[in-house]
Amino acid sequence: MKKNWWKGLSVLILTYVILRGLLGVVPRQPILNESIRNVYFHVPLWFGMIIMLLTSAVYSIRYLRNGRFDDDGVAVEFANTAILFGFLGCLTGALWANFTWGEPWPNDPKLNSVAVGMLMYLAYLILRGSFDDEQRRARISAVYNIFAFAVFVPLIFIVPRLTDSLHPGNGGNPAFGKYDMDSQMRMVFYPAVIGFTLLGVWITELRVRLRRVKAALEE
Amino acid sequence: MTESVRQLGALMRKEFLLEWRQRYALNGMLLYIVGAVFVCYLSFNARRGQLTPIVWNTLFWIIQLFTAINAIAKSFVQERAGRQLYYYTLASPQQIILAKIGYNTALMGVLAVLGFCTYAFVLGSPIADIPLYLLTLALGAIGFSASLTLVSGIASKAENPATLMAVLSFPIILPLLLLLLKVSKNAMDGLDRSVSWSEVGTVLAIDAIVLTLSWLLFPFLWRS
């Protein structure tokens, strides 16, 4: 039980976030109106995704340094969960954009960058599928994973800032935190980031354990 | 230090010699880019000077992209495994990847200039600031070869290198391509150069990241 306290914490935080997110008081903003509640779900999903991609890259580096198969398995499962979060982030974002920007997929550099980033990680999964030899698969996909993360970062954080974007914090727009969020919202937003990240780690942990059990059964 | 520079020189020389001896591959690349330009020219109904600047620029860079992928994809495939093993006993993997990137940069430079000349010849050239445009071509050659050489190394280890090369490299190359498109569009419109410097800086930074990563990661790749 001692080791699992963070799972309880994750459930607790997410319950709090969902309750506060759906029932809590939010500031009235023009255009945004009630849809500002989505900031508790959409943004933390992306934060969680980026944290998990970083963890995945770190595990790939670890694999290359010490050659333990287990690290490669952890890296791929983190990437899988990150892709899932990415899809959910796209979905919540599309819903939000539909009401505030008028269409579910406006031609926005951040959206397109993210779509390309997802393609990059789907290519990672395809690359993994195209090897029969396990050692080779692990080593080469680890190399690609690190490379992909290094390209993903400028794609997400630099390219959208160079052009005009609808997203806050890009293309000269002020970031959301500047004046749209009051301290009430912060009390929900920051826990939401932690909660969704913990949920992602939980999903990943289950899949990694499944992978270990399968590997043990095969031996 | 001087020793490693000498080795690097020797490896580069080997790449050039190898290419020169198998001239059909080089000629194939040259013909590929000229052919691609001509297909585009005829597909647009051979109307010289009627493309809008954006279409002109984008079409040119897409031709460049496909040529780069085709040219660089073969950098690890054309030599047999046994011979590659022999190189690794002679030189360090870092030197091998640097030599390949250097060689591919030169190759891409030649292809880019040739492609540009043909393209401007048949479709007309609406460029106002030619030196800056040539600079973007050079930056593109460095960036394309640095990122695609490692990807071709990855793809060549897999079962179906040709498809994988395209799948892996399209998303990887995209940030670079978008920035290059932006800078070259500025050059076309003849905007003041100070507008473009920040983007040129970003392209250089991406080139540096990709080069460093290739240098760091390749030693893990060749062992398999």
Alpha carbon dihedral B82, B84, B87, B93, in 10-degree steps, equals -140
Give the pLDDT confidence score for residue A22 in this predicted structure. Answer: 82
- CA angle A120/A121/A127 to nearest 5° reads 90
Kindly indicate the confidence band of residue B49, based on its pLDDT and cuts at 50, 70 and 90. low
What is the nearest CA distance from A131 to chain B, expressed in angstroms? 6
pLDDT over 70 (residue B171): yes
Give the pLDDT confidence score for residue A168 in this predicted structure. Answer: 67
pLDDT over 90 (residue A78): yes
CA dist A105 → A98, A102, A116, A166, A176 (Å): 8, 9, 14, 11, 20
Interface pTM, i.e. ipTM: 0.77
pLDDT over 90 (residue A150): no
**Are A147 and B209 a contacting pair at CB < 8 A?**
no
Between B145 and B53, name the one with better pLDDT: B145
Residue located via tokens 């091998």: B96
Q: Domain limits at B54?
A: 2-222
> Chain A contacts of B157, Cβ < 8 Å?
131, 136, 140
CB pairs under 8 A between A and B: 87
Break chain A into its structural domains and give their ranges. 40-218
Give the pLDDT confidence score for residue A54 in this predicted structure. Answer: 94
What is d(CA B50, CA A26) in angstroms, rounded to the nearest whole number?
A: 54
Nearest CB partner across the interface for B164, out of A119, A130, A151: A130
pLDDT over 90 (residue A34): no
Kindly indicate the confidence band of residue A85, based on its pLDDT and cuts at 50, 70 and 90. very high
Give the pLDDT confidence score for residue A59 in this predicted structure. Answer: 93
- Going by the DSSP 8-state scheme, the letter that residue A173 receives in this structure is P
* pLDDT (average), residues B94-111: 88
Give the pLDDT confidence score for residue A101 in this predicted structure. Answer: 79
> Chain A contacts of B164, Cβ < 8 Å?
126-127, 130
Give the pLDDT confidence score for residue B127 in this predicted structure. Answer: 80
Query: Considering the entire predicted model, what is its pTM?
Result: 0.81
> Chain A contacts of B223, Cβ < 8 Å?
139
Nearest CB partner across the interface for B171, out of A64, A116, A140: A116
What is d(CA A59, CA A208) in angstroms, rounded to the nearest whole number?
A: 13
Pick from A162, A147, A120, A170: nearest CA to B203: A162
**Are A140 and B210 a contacting pair at CB < 8 A?**
no
Share of chain B above pLDDT 70, in %: 95
Reduce the DSSP state of residue B100 to 3 states and report it: helix
**Are B172 and A130 a contacting pair at CB < 8 A?**
no
DSSP calls for B103-151: HHHHHHHHHHHHHHHHHHHHH----S-HHHHHHHHHHHHHHHHHHHHHH
Give the pLDDT confidence score for residue B19 in this predicted structure. Answer: 78
Give the pLDDT confidence score for residue B46 in this predicted structure. Answer: 60
Nearest CB partner across the interface for B224, out of A117, A140, A155: A140
Nearest CB partner across the interface for B167, out of A117, A126, A151: A126
The answer to whether the beta carbons of residues B200 and B183 sit under 8 Å apart is yes
Give the pLDDT confidence score for residue B16 in this predicted structure. Answer: 82
Nearest CB partner across the interface for B199, out of A127, A140, A162: A162
pLDDT digits (tens, 9 = 90+) for B180-194: 888 888 888 877 777
pLDDT, averaged across chain B? 83
pLDDT digits (tens, 9 = 90+) for A128-146: 888 888 888 888 889 899 9
Residue type at position A169? G
Q: Which residues of B touch A (CB under 8 A)?
A: 147, 150-151, 154, 157-160, 164, 167-168, 170-172, 174-175, 178-179, 182, 198-199, 202, 205-206, 209-210, 213, 217, 220-221, 223-224
Q: Which residues contact B126 (CB under 8 A, 6 or more apart)?
A: B49, B53, B56, B188
| Tally of domains within chain B | 1
CB-side neighbour CA atoms (13 Å) of A95: 13
What is the nearest CA distance from A190 to chain B, expressed in angstroms? 30
pLDDT digits (tens, 9 = 90+) for B56-99: 888 899 999 999 988 888 777 766 767 777 777 777 888 888 88
> Chain A contacts of B199, Cβ < 8 Å?
162
